[in-house]
Amino acid sequence: MGSRVPGLRAAEGRVRRLAGVLSEEKQLRSIAAGGPAAQAGMAGAAKARPVVLRLSGAVLAVTGFDPSVPNTARVYNYWLGGKDHFPADRAEAELLLEICPQLRDLVRGNRAFITEAVGWAARQGIAQFIDLGAGLPASPSVHQAARDVLPAARVAYVDTDQVVLSHARALLATSDGVAAVAADLRDPAAVLAHPELQAVIDLREPVCVILAAVLHFLDAGTARAVTGGYARLMAPGSCLVISCATYDDEALAKRLAAEYTAGQFVNHSREDVTSFFAGLEMVGPGVTEAQTWRAWMPEPVLRRREGHVLVGVGRSRA
């Protein structure tokens, strides 16, 4: 039976989370010290997993792997049904699901939209894709979705998280035309000038730039500067794909932001999200809900409910 004492359920959850984390930390310390786990061949894997320390989204340092710190990419991976997460990540994800049970459906709807938008861009003849803040690999990946339409499509996965990059290099960047690039998406000029990106992306040709579920970690002014920077630097005929979580219930948004320790969350309005496409021609319905976006739809579908993933595709004039 659940406790009727206010706050006790949350406290009990945090105790269970701490117990799980301490157990896994003990195992990792045993690995580092050459204990039984290391003798079983796990030491190399543990040492290969760094963690990124952040302050308001900015990377401060990369240190040894720390399973006690929830990580944005791993929390998201848990909601998607992936396996790249640890007790602290799972505890964070479950705590947030208690606050907003539809979160799992929202992130899966977001992934479905990205697959739809990438396929649409490829059908327009766009054969280059830049996935900014790519996160841990998901299925189908951007290059899989693009190559279902254009087998020679080229993709650059961009992130600052070294755990994400190590996964991307091992699981995604294993064929010609796919690269994993260590760069900060908040600096469009530096990202697009990166030699590893330019090894697979020809910026003289149209490109599809993807900002999936990342702009809600930036304030609206910064997000507009970022999207505007990419829009100005893209070749004519390019497109910008954006998805962003938002909540009609401001109190719910504030509670989620307070509990989300893996990163900062900003609750952008639909007007904010629309402003991220300044200077571009909107495709189909404009800014709409993720699960309803189709390029052929003339009008957006927007319903009032606790949470949405607002999405859109903007294209520069050819």
Determine the pLDDT at residue 12. 45
Q: Which residues, in sequence order, are CB contacts of 16 under 8 Å at separation 6+?
A: 91
Same domain, 209 and 236: yes
Same domain, 23 and 116: no
Is 111 inside any structural domain?
yes
Token readout for 250 is 């401001």
Between CA 245 and CA 214 the distance in angstroms is 9
What are 62's strand-pairing partners?
52
Domain that holds residue 178: 103-315
Between CA 242 and CA 40 the distance in angstroms is 44
Determine the pLDDT at residue 138. 84
Is 158 inside any structural domain?
yes
Same domain, 84 and 177: no
Same domain, 72 and 162: no
pTM of whole model > 0.75? Answer: yes
Number of folded domains that form the chain: 2
Determine the pLDDT at residue 163. 82
Same domain, 155 and 167: yes
Same domain, 85 and 173: no
**Beta strand pairing status for 51-55 and 58-63?**
antiparallel
Last residue of a domain, one of 45, 67, 99: 99
Q: Walk along the chain (318 residues) and give the pLDDT tens digit of each residue.
A: 443 333 334 434 443 444 443 444 444 333 333 333 333 332 233 333 344 333 333 333 334 557 788 888 899 889 988 888 899 999 999 999 999 998 999 999 999 999 999 999 999 999 999 999 998 888 899 999 999 999 999 999 999 988 888 888 887 777 789 999 999 999 999 999 999 999 999 999 999 999 999 999 999 999 999 999 999 999 999 999 999 999 999 999 999 999 888 888 999 999 999 999 999 999 999 999 998 999 998 888 777 667 889 999 999 998
Q: Are 278 and 228 in contact (CB under 8 A)?
A: yes
Is 3 inside any structural domain?
no
The per-residue DSSP string of 265-301 comes to -----HHHHHHTTTTSEEPTTSSEEGGG--TT-SS--
Same domain, 165 and 248: yes
Same domain, 75 and 44: yes
Q: Provide the angle, in degrees to the nearest 10, between the axes of the packed helices 8-32 and 87-99.
A: 160
Is 213 inside any structural domain?
yes
Same domain, 178 and 93: no
